[in-house]
Amino acid sequence: MPKMTFIEQDGTRRDVEAPIGLSVLEIAHRNDVDLEGACEGSLACSTCHVVVEPEWYDVLTDASEDEEDMLDLAFGLTKTSRLGCQIIMTEELDGLTVRLPAGSRNMMGG
């Protein structure tokens, strides 16, 4: 089974199993990684914002216009930022590494 790594805000690396077809957000939740998904993957928030390690960014499919619009609202946006709900695991992404940004801004005021 493919694996992926989450780098938590304190620098802790968490290597987890990453079933093909699941999103990074779903994988995070299965493994108790602290990645919020307030809108549950419906592209209505930016709380599942992750920073993809540069060597992996180009392997991902391009962000949709809707995802780009939501990323514009993400806190701590970087050149390799993506929304975790939009990154779907494939064989090619075995070993994918993403960082959790230092904070997130929930549009719901939380």
Angle at 49 between CA 26 and CA 75, to 5 degrees: 155
pLDDT in tens, 63-103: 999 999 999 999 889 999 999 999 999 999 999 999 999 76
* pLDDT for residue 108 is more than 50: no
Both tokens assigned to 96: 């994918």
pLDDT in tens, 51-64: 999 999 999 999 99
How many residues belong to the chain? 110
Domain 3-99 fold is Ubiquitin-like (UB roll) (3.10.20)
The residue extents of the domains of the chain are 3-99
CB atoms within 10 A of CB 52: 22
Q: Does residue 52 sit in helix, strand or coil?
A: strand
State how far the Cα of 108 lies from the Cα of 110, in Å rounded to an integer: 6
